Structure 1
Amino acid sequence: MRTKVAIIGAGPAGLLLGQLLHGYGIDNVILERQTGDYVLSRIRAGLLEEGTVALLDKVGAGARAHREGLVHHGLELAFGGSRHRIDLHGPTGKSVMIYGQTEVTLDLMNARKAAGLHSIYRAGDVTPHDFDTDHPRVTYVKDGVTHEIACDFIAGCDGFHGVSRASIKPEAIKTYERVYPFGWLGILSETPPVSPELIYVNHERGFALCTMRSMRRSRYYVQCPLDDDIEQWPDKRFWDELKSRLDERARDSLVTGPSIEKSIAPLRSFVAEPMRFGRMFLAGDASHIVPPTGAKGLNLAASDVHYLSSGLREYYDEKSSAGIDAYSAKALARVWKAVRFSWWMTSMLHKFPDQGEFGQRIQEAELDYLVSSKAASTSLVENYVGLPF
């Protein structure tokens, strides 16, 4: 098989890249080691920046998000027993949209199917080859038969544990990482949200987050030890712990119910540099991970593929390599700003093992400064709604 771009990974990054390239007339094939149903079963975050929504619109996959997504013009910070609203729209003219990543993936899958584009699911032993030459290729096994795709470029959109980054020689790549000493215990429930906007909670017992997937389905998180087991957290214990961290008004408004999904997620900050290796590019979680506190993971993947698709369009349409040559530096400049913001939000809102009473009071002072200073809150808002592509 021959194509221009072989995309490894059928998550949001790979699917969005495939649709953007198709719109530019650039042939591409997507390889995914899991089934489509498995990809759609993964529960992920769901806050979209306007730039991400615009890209979905550009590839014809944004209609359902506009119908069903919840547009938010603010968020709330809770600390010291009180809640404080931060206006997102006033300082920036922008908003964010609550729309699940699973729904984004489904919309992109449907758009790709409608366009008749080639996706290969259950592709085993996917391996990129010769990406440091002018003739890269990707091999994979399907139904016991080995196949090869010859291509001009490879896009590694296969996540943190994928084969793309693992195929790079260690001396050619540098990684930066911070693993946080706690996790997020999250549940999904068929209950109305406790508030029409997200509530980020700083509490002496630990962080909590109240969010939603719709006006009938809620997503809640509490900070927990990394070594906790999900079996230690029956629903009643979770709801009791969440209530203990909420302000009185939220506690009285909270509607509880059986969980339909429950998991514990570790938190880390991770960046791999560069994001280009000859004729292979990394995008999304294959290159960087951020803690979900800043809601940047999916949105960074979208900006990566925006830069990459634009560079590839320039390569084929204008016979110029300037765009792909600048891809890594341009993408990483935005990545590191998002990594900084996500680290800052995480540091300000979570309880760390060594922070003590002094650290708690410092966090509360910073939060008080945020809600009382226009300059400080504007800085938060500019980053939260998304820096320009």
Structure 2
Amino acid sequence: MRTQVAIIGGGPAGLLLGQLLHRQGIDTILLEKRSKAHVLSRIRAGLLERGTCDLLHEAGVGARLAAEGFRHQGVNVSWGEEMFRIDLAGLTGHAVTVYGQTEVTQDLYDAREATDAPSFFEVDEVTIHDADTDAPRVTFTHDDAPQEIACDFVAGCDGFHGVSRPTIPDDVRRDYEKVYPFGWLGILSETPPVEEELIYASGPHGFALCSMRNEGLSRYYVQCDASESPDAWSDDAFWAELRRRLPPAQADALVTGPSIEKSIAPLRSYVCEPMRWGRLFLCGDAAHIVPPTGAKGLNTAAGDVHYLAEGVTAHYRGDDGPLDAYSERALARVWKNERFSWWFTSLMHLFPHHSDFERNMQRAEVALLRESEAAQRAMAENYVGLPL
């Protein structure tokens, strides 16, 4: 087989890249290790920055987003019994949109299938060859048969555990990582959200997040030990723990019900440099991980996709400048999003090693955020998304 761009990874990053390139007349073949049903079953964040929404519209998949997404003009922060609102729209002129990542992925799959662009699911033994030459290849097996793709470029959108990043030699690649001493226990429930906008809560018992997918589907999280099992938490235990981490008014208003999904996610910050080796380009979780505080994962990946699609398109028009600058441009934005996610995580969570002094520093910084318009504006600018 022959294509212009081989995309490894059938999550939203790979799908968005394929759709943007398709609209520029550039051919792609997409490889996914799992089944399509498995990819669509993943429960992920549902908060989209303005730039991500713009990209989805540019890719021609924004109709359902516009019709069903919930625009949030603000976000709530609480410390103990006090809660205050950050006016995102008033401070920046922009909002964020709540629209589940599963819905984004479904829209992108529908668009790809409408183009008849080749996609292979449940592939195995994916290997990238000759990425440091002008003629890269990707080999894999599908239905027990060996396959090979000759291509101009390889886009590694296959996540933290994929094959793309390890293809970059150890003496070229540099890894930066911070592992946090806690995780998030999250549940999905068919209950109305406790508040119209998200609540990021902290207090003596740790962090909690109140989010939603729609008017009748809520997503809630509480900080927990990363080594715990979700099976150790009954629904009643979760709701009780969430209540004691919320301000009294929100705790009293919380509507509970059976969980339809429950999981624990560890938290880490990670960056790989560079994001390019020869004709192999890394996108999304293959190159970087952020803690979920502030919902920068998918949005950071969308920034990568924007820069790579722009670079590949320019290449086929005779200009290699944007493609040569891909890693530098993407990393500049990645590190800014890493900083924001690290800052917000450090501010809102209870760390086991924190002294009383450090906990009071957190309290003082939350007070500054509550009282200072300048501090709120800095947070709001990062929260709605830095310009692409």
* One-letter amino acid of the structure 2 residue matched with residue 293 of structure 1: T
Higher deviation after alignment, 257-266 or 349-358: 349-358
SS of the aligned residue for 1:213 comes to strand
Displacement of 1:182: 0.1
CA distance in 2, matches of 1:174, 1:288: 12
1:143 CA drift (Å): 1.1
Cα distance in 2 between the residues matched to 1:199 and 1:364: 17
CA offsets, 1:333-372, max 9 Å, x none? 0000000000000000000011132222211110010011
What's the offset of the Cα at 1:2? 0.4
The equivalent residue for 2:372 is: 373
Q: How big is each residue's C-alpha offset from its partner over 1:20-51, in whole Å with a ceiling of 9 and x where there is no partner? A: 10011111110011110000011101100111
Q: For residue 228 of structure 2, what is the amino acid of its counterpart?
A: D
What are the superposed Cα offsets for residues 223-255 of structure 1, whole Å, 9 maximum, x if unpaired?
001111112101000000000111110011100
Question: 1:347 is matched by which residue type in structure 2?
Answer: S
Matched, 1:127 2:121: no
Q: What is the CA–CA distance in structure 2 between the aligned matches of 1:356 and 1:253, rounded to whole Å?
A: 33
Q: For residues 64 and 118 of structure 1, what CA distance do their matches in structure 2 show?
A: 24
SS of alignment partner, residue 204 of structure 1: coil
Deviations 1:49-106 (A, max 9, x none): 1111111111111111111111000000001311101100011110000011111000
Distance 1:114 1:213 in 2: 26
Deviation at 1:168?
A: 1.8
Q: Is the 8 A contact 1:204 1:360 kept in 2?
A: no
The superposition leaves residues 136-194 of structure 1 with CA deviations (integer Å, 9 ceiling, x where unpaired) of: 00001011110100000000000010010122211110000000000000000000000
Moved more, 297-306 or 114-123: 114-123
Residue 236 of structure 2 is aligned to residue 204 of structure 1: no
Identity %: 59
Q: Which residue of the partner structure matches residue 229 of structure 1?
A: 229
Conserved? CA contact 1:80–1:364, under 8 Å: no
Secondary structure, in 3 states, of the residue corresponding to 1:360?
helix
Give the letter for the 1:58 counterpart: E
CA contact (8 A) 2:73 2:89 kept: yes
Q: Within 1, Cα distance between the matches of 2:175 and 2:100?
A: 29
Equivalent positions of 1:302-381 (< 5 A) are: 302-317=302-317, 319-381=318-380
Alignment partner of 1:261: what SS?
A: strand
Distance in 2 (alpha carbons) for counterparts of 1:15 and 1:24: 15
- 1:187-221: CA deviation from partner (whole Å, max 9, x where unpaired): 00000000000000011110000000001000000
| Equivalent AA in structure 1 for residue 117 of structure 2 | L
Runs of 5+ consecutive residues of structure 2 not aligned to the other structure: none
Asked if the contact 1:138–1:150 (Cα under 8 Å) also holds between the matched residues in 2, the reply is: yes
Contact kept? 2:80, 2:246, Cα under 8 Å: no
Choose 116-125 or 247-256, whichever is displaced more.
116-125
Equivalents in 2 of 1:210, 1:169: separation in Å? 42
State the secondary structure of the residue aligned to 2:312. helix
Counterpart code for 2:381: E
The equivalent residue for 1:173 is 173
Equivalent residues of 1:50, 1:95 under 8 A apart: yes
SS at 1:293 equivalent: coil
When the two structures are superposed, what TM-score results if normalisation uses the length of structure 1? 0.99
Cα shift readout 1:119-152 (whole Å, capped 9, x = no counterpart) = 1111111111100011100001011110100000
Q: Determine the C-alpha separation between the residues in 2 that align with 1:133 and 1:227.
A: 43
Q: Is the 8 Å Cα contact of residues 127 and 138 (structure 1) preserved in structure 2?
A: yes
SS of aligned partner of 1:44? coil
Flag as ranges the 4+ runs of structure 1 deviating above 6 A.
none
Paired AA for residue 216 in structure 2:
R
Q: 2:50, 2:372 → 1: CA distance?
A: 25
Deviates more, 1:86-95 or 1:356-365: 356-365
Task: Please say if residues 235 and 258 of structure 1, whose CA atoms lie closer than 8 Å, have aligned partners that are also in contact.
Answer: yes
Query: Equivalent residue for 1:148?
Result: 148
Letter in 2 for 1:326: A
Distance (whole Å) between structure 1 residues aligned to residue 71 and residue 34 of structure 2: 32
User: CA separation in 1, counterparts of 2:75 and 2:278?
Assistant: 42
Letter in structure 2 aligned against 1:128: I
Q: Which amino acid aligns with 2:166?
A: A
Native 8 Å contact 2:209 2:220 kept in 1: yes
Query: Which whole-Å CA distance do the structure 2 matches of 1:182 and 1:144 have between them?
Result: 41
Structure 1: which amino acid aligns with 2:214? Answer: S
Q: Residue 172 of structure 1: SS of its match in structure 2?
A: coil
Please say if residues 33 and 124 of structure 1, whose CA atoms lie closer than 8 Å, have aligned partners that are also in contact.
yes
Please show how residues 1-389 of structure 1 align to structure 2 within 5 Å: 1-317=1-317, 319-389=318-388
Whole-Å Cα distance in 2 between the matches of residues 251 and 15 of structure 1?
Answer: 39
**Distance in structure 2 (CA, Å) of the matches to 1:34 and 1:351:** 36
CA distance in structure 1 between the partners assigned to 2:119 and 2:144 by the alignment: 18
CA contact 2:74–2:85 (8 Å) conserved in 1: yes
User: How many aligned positions are there?
Assistant: 388
Maintained 8 Å contact 2:7/2:30: yes
Alpha-carbon separation, structure 1, partners of 2:116 and 2:226: 44
- What does the per-residue CA deviation read over 1:307-339, in whole Å, with 9 as the maximum and x for residues that have no partner? 00000110001x121111000000000000000
Deviates more, 1:267-276 or 1:115-124: 115-124
**CA distance in 2: counterparts of 1:367 and 1:312, whole angstroms:** 43
Report the secondary structure of 2:53's partner residue: helix
Distance 1:206 1:356 in 2: 14
Counterpart CA distance in 1 for 2:20 and 2:361 is 45
